[in-house]
Amino acid sequence: MQCSWKAVLLLVLASIAIQYTAIRTFTAKSFHTCPGLAERLCKEGPTLAYNLSRKTHVLILATTRSGSSFMGQLFNQHLDVFYLFEPLYHVQNTMVPRFTQGRSPTDRRVILGTSRDLLRSLYDCDLYFLENYIKPPPINHTTNRIFRRGASRVLCSRPVCDPPGSPDLVLEERDCVRKCGLLNLTVAAEACREHSHVAIKTVRMPGVNDLRALVEDPRLNLKVIQLVRDPRGILASRSETFRDKYRLWRLWHSTGRKPYNLDETQLTTVCEDFSNSVSAGLQRPMWLKGKYMLVRYEDLARNPVKKTEEIYSFLGIPMDSHVARWLQNNTQGDPARGRNKYGMVRNSAATAEKWRFRLSYGIVVFAQNACQQVLEQLGYKMATSEEELKNPSVSLVEERDFRPFS
């Protein structure tokens, strides 16, 4: 026998590799040329196929009180973008009560897996998939139970919303729910398909690691924008917004003494999630190449136009004039007249750092110890004394350039 066993083994391995590559290329190709679009569209030729393959799926990975609604608007206002505000709410809402807490590792895995399935379907404009998580279940694909429907421009304008006797206006959020009637998911899905890009905002995914299966999915062209904020700022903002839930933190602030039954995880979970996610992102693993951008809320607040341009440039989507105009309307408020709806004003270094006057030095020291690692990673400086904390001419946000790697 001329042929050694090594050669045979090599041959077998090579043929497996070739077949695997062929299958993978084939699946990737067939999905890319036809991402969930009606077949007739696919037959319309290579130009369209090319255009479709350029469809970008944007995920805004954020956390509560980190400026995510503002960031979402940067996409919601773009005429080529179909934007959904927090659809994973529905998963949480249907699945968590079924488990005791939704907090055991197994429950967590199940919820994350379900969330990824839902995201994948929504990026494919399969809005019927969402029906599995709506209570009561939609009848004939219509429902009035979409969480924060009014936060999505497309779901509140023609043809998805066609209120009798109204001009073709984008309605205010509360008007949308009142005037648009039932949401016809068939029409909404068509509108989704007609938009060049799909953007979804969520505060219900812990980190970018949990998205790896989606990032690597050849059917998607997923780009993750992680919005982070100084955890001390998040804590201050949450204490003010969720007064009941964060009552003990406010008690600490007013009495100067740390309540024994304080739920520290209200702070530490944010820091751990940030740290896990940001560590993964900053290590620049191949699977995130060209797929991940880190944005600090403070940078967005200081220079909204420049940062927005950088974000769109990373995505490879031309920014449109509606986004620019919306930014102008919503970031150039007069600070003297108070905050605008999104809490962003021009010259808003003060806005982004006003937590410094809302947290006592004791709480800040505690937070700095609990979150030391992530503060360093993200370029947030420690306040080393009460004087420094309360001195607005000393910024606690280091200049840092978190360039996406491509």
Ligand X SMILES: *[C@@H]1O[C@H](CO)[C@@H](O)[C@H](O)[C@H]1NC(C)=O
- Site residues (vs ligand X, CB under 6 A): 47-48, 51, 139-140, 142, 184, 186-187, 322, 325-326, 329
Q: Which two tokens stand for residue 389?
A: 């904390």
To ligand X, the closest distance from the beta carbon of 73 in angstroms equals: 9
To ligand X, the closest distance from the beta carbon of 38 in angstroms equals: 13
To ligand X, the closest distance from the beta carbon of 312 in angstroms equals: 16
Looking at the Cβ atoms of 313 and 329, the one nearer to ligand X is 329
Looking at the Cβ atoms of 88 and 191, the one nearer to ligand X is 191
To ligand X, the closest distance from the beta carbon of 341 in angstroms equals: 11
Residues 360 and 355: their CA atoms lie apart, in Å, by 10
Looking at the Cβ atoms of 325 and 390, the one nearer to ligand X is 325
Looking at the Cβ atoms of 45 and 105, the one nearer to ligand X is 45
Residues 292 and 290: their CA atoms lie apart, in Å, by 6
To ligand X, the closest distance from the beta carbon of 350 in angstroms equals: 24
Query: By the 8 A CB rule, do 204 and 148 touch?
Result: no
Residues 6+ apart with CB under 8 A from 381: 375, 395, 396, 397, 398
Looking at the Cβ atoms of 45 and 97, the one nearer to ligand X is 45
User: Please, which residues bridge with residue 104 across strands?
Assistant: none
Reference 395, options 354, 362, 344, 337; nearest CA is 354
Looking at the Cβ atoms of 186 and 391, the one nearer to ligand X is 186
Task: Identify the burial level of 327 via C-beta atoms within 10 angstroms of its C-beta, where 0-12 means exposed, 13-18 middle and 19 or more buried.
Answer: buried
Residues 6+ apart with CB under 8 A from 280: 207, 208, 209, 288
Q: Give the H/E segment covering residue 190.
A: helix 185-194
- Going by DSSP bridges, is the β-strand pair 81-85/222-228 parallel, antiparallel, or unpaired? unpaired
To ligand X, the closest distance from the beta carbon of 306 in angstroms equals: 19
Looking at the Cβ atoms of 114 and 142, the one nearer to ligand X is 142
Residues 152 and 147: their CA atoms lie apart, in Å, by 10
To ligand X, the closest distance from the beta carbon of 186 in angstroms equals: 4
